[in-house]
Structure 1
Amino acid sequence: MEQIRDLFLDDLVLRYDRVLVLCVSGTRGRVFDRATQASYAILQGYRERREQAGRGGQFALRVLDTGNVGPGEGVLAHEAIRIIEEQAPPFEKLRRTLKDMARQTICLTVPHDLWYLHNRARSKGENSMTLSFYRLGRALEIKPILEMRDGRSRVAGSVRGFERAVARVLDQARDVLSKGHILPVVVMSFGGDPRIIREMTAYQEFEAFAAAHKCRLHLSVMSASMAVNVGPGAFALAYIQK
C-alpha cells in the first residue's frame, strides 16, 4: 500500500489531474484492496504536494476492479485510451463505461504446464483443476481452456495438444468477431517468445481475418503476475462483448 501511495504522491498527482487505476481481479490478488486503501491517503495528502509543485486545482482518483487478468486488463486499457482520445468524456462517465465493459470482458487461457497449474490451484484452495483431470490431461496431453469473466473462472473446454487448444481459442474469437458480437480489438499474451505464437498457422489465419474485419490485434509477452498463476508457456486472449 505504501508503494502505491508514494508513487502517486511523489509523481502522478504532480503530472495529472485525474487517474483511473485498472486492477487485476480482486479474486486473483490483493492489488485492488491495497490500491483502494492507498487512495484514501492519496486523496488526503495530494493538495500539499501539488501546492509545493505550483500545480493548483483538484485531483481525482478512482480504482476499478476489472474482474479479469492479463489480456482482460489490457483490452480494457486499450478501450479507455480510445474513448478518451475519441470522446474525451467526463471522468466519472469514463469510469462507469469501463465498469460496464469489465463485466463483458472475457479472457480465455490455455495453460501449457498442467503440473504447475494443478499445484498452484491446490495451494490457493481452488478446485478448477481436479486431480483426475490433471492426471488425464497429463497422460493424454489434454489442455484445458480456462475462461475468466467478472471475477469468476471456469473450465470452458479441453483440447488435445497445446497448439490445437490455441487454435480453438482463436477460432472462438474469430466466430464472435464475424458475428459482430465483440468490440474490434483482441489482446493476447504468451508466457514465452511471442514469435512462437506468430509462427502458428492458426494465428496467421486469424491475423488475416482480423485485418479484413478491421479488428486490432495486440500480442505481447505475458505479465509476470499472470504467468505466476498459470505457468510458463501459457497463452491467453481477451475481448469485450457488445
Structure 2
Amino acid sequence: MGLAIDASCDLPQDFLLEHDISVMPIAVRVNDSVFKDDRNPAEIDRFLRLKLGSRSHSAETEPCSVEDVQKLFLEKLVLEKDCVFCLTITATRSPIYDHVVKASFGVLKNYRQVRERAGLTGPFLMRVMDTRSLFAGTAPCVVEAARLMKANETPAAIRERLAYIAENSYGYMLPRDLYYLRARAKKKGDRSVGLFSAVLGSTLDIKPLLRGYRGETSPVGKVRGWEHGCETLFSYAADRVRAGLLVPVMCAAYGGDLAELPKLPGYDKLQQACQEHNVTLMQAPMSITGMVNVGEGAVCIGFAAEEHDVEF
C-alpha cells in the first residue's frame, strides 16, 4: 500500500521519504518566476531567498490537474503499489480533491493494461479522501495512514479510521500580515478578511487566530501582537497535548526559515509538553502554495483530538 498527498499538506521532508509518500505538485507563478510546488526543500528555499513571499498575492496557483494525477498513477504508482490512498486539502478550499476524484475514474479504468504489460497481476485500488483541514491540519491523517499501513491493516479498516481522524483534525494558523491576507483573499473572491478588519488589526497590532475544522475556515480568536499570538497558539497546543490526542503527533509549520520556528515565544513549552506525553512534534516548512495564499511568516499547527470548546 502507498500514500499520495497534495503539495499543500505540510509535513517534514524526511517523513515523506521514510514512508515513500508521493506528492501531487501544484504550479505557482509569481511575476516571471515559476515554481513547482512539490515540497522540495530546494524550491521552498529559492522562493524564500527571492523574497517573493511578501509580494506574491497576485500569484497564480494551478492545482494538480486531472491529467497530471492520471499520469502520476498510470506511469508510476500502479506499477509500484496495489493500493494507494490519496489525502488532500479540504475540498471547500481547493479543487484538488475534485480533480483527484475525477482522475481516479480514468486510473481505475486503464490500470489493468498498464500492469499487465509490466507482468503484474491482481487489482489496483485507489482511495481518495478529504482531510477536512488544510496545511499542518492535514498531518494527523497522513501520519495515521502511514502507521496503519505499516501495521498491515486492511484498506477498509484504514478508510474507516481516516474518516474519523479527518472529522476530528484541527488546523490553526496565525497570519503575520493582515493586509497581505486580505489582498490575496480578495483576488480569490474570499471576503472572510474585510478591509476594515485588516486596517484595524494592523493599526492596533491585532492578529486573528484562524481555524480549519470539518471543512470550515474561520477566525476563533484575536490576540494583540505577533509574539503574544505565537505564545497563545503554542500554549493552546500544549494544553491539547496534555488533554490527549487521537494521533500522538503535533505538527508545526512555518512560512519562513524553519530554523526560526523553535525560537518563537512559547514553542519551548510545547516541546516540553510533547516530550512528557510521548507525542512526536514535527516541524515542517509551509508549502509555497500556503505562503502564496496566507503570506510569509505565518505559523500553523495541526493535530487530531476529540471535539472540544475553543477558548482564546
How would you bin the TM-score normalised by the shorter chain? over 0.9
Partner of 1:66: 131
1:38-187 equivalences under 5 Å are 38-86=103-151, 88-180=152-244, 182-187=246-251
How many angstroms apart in 1 are the aligned matches of 2:265 and 2:172?
A: 19
Deviations 1:36-78 (A, max 9, x none): 1110000000000000111111000011111111111222111
Q: Is the 8 A contact 1:104 1:149 kept in 2?
A: yes
Runs of 4+ in 1 over 6 A off after TM superposition: none
Q: 2-side partners of 1:94 and 1:34: how far apart?
A: 22
- Asked if the contact 1:69/1:226 (under 8 Å) is kept, the reply is no
Q: Which amino acid aligns with 1:188?
A: A
Q: Is the 8 A contact 1:68 1:149 kept in 2?
A: yes
SS of match in other structure, 2:133: coil
TM-score by length of 2: 0.75
Alpha-carbon distance between aligned partners in 1 of 2:298 and 2:194, rounded to the nearest angstrom? 19
Q: CA deviation at 1:128?
A: 2.2
TM-score computed with the length of structure 1 as normaliser = 0.95
Indicate conservation of the 8 Å contact 2:253/2:301, yes or no. Answer: yes
**1:219 matches 2:287:** no
For 1:194 and 1:164, the matched residues in 2 are separated by 19
Deviation at 1:181, TM superposition (A): 5.0
Paired with 2:133 and 2:187, the residues of 1 have a C-alpha distance of 20
Q: Which runs of 5+ in 2 are unaligned?
A: 1-65, 307-312
CA contact (8 A) 1:75 1:240 kept: yes
* Secondary structure, counterpart of 2:236 in structure 1: helix
Query: What displacement does 1:183 show?
Result: 3.2
Any stretches of 5+ residues in structure 1 without a counterpart? none
- 1:37 matched residue in structure 2: 102
Q: Percent identity?
A: 32
Residue 182 of structure 1 deviates from its aligned partner by 4.5
Between the aligned partners of 2:192 and 2:67, the Cα distance in structure 1 is 33
Match of 2:86 among 21, 24, 30: 21
8 A Cα contact 1:25 1:32, kept in partner = yes
Deviations 1:162-204 (A, max 9, x none): 1211111111111122122553210111000112121124111
C-alpha distance in structure 1 between counterparts of 2:291 and 2:214, whole Å: 20
Amino acid at match of 1:173: A
Q: Specify which structure has the higher proportion of helix.
A: 1
Give the AA of the match of 1:209.
A
Q: How does 1:186-225 map to 2 (within 5 A)?
A: 186-225=250-289
Q: Work out the number of aligned pairs and report it.
A: 241
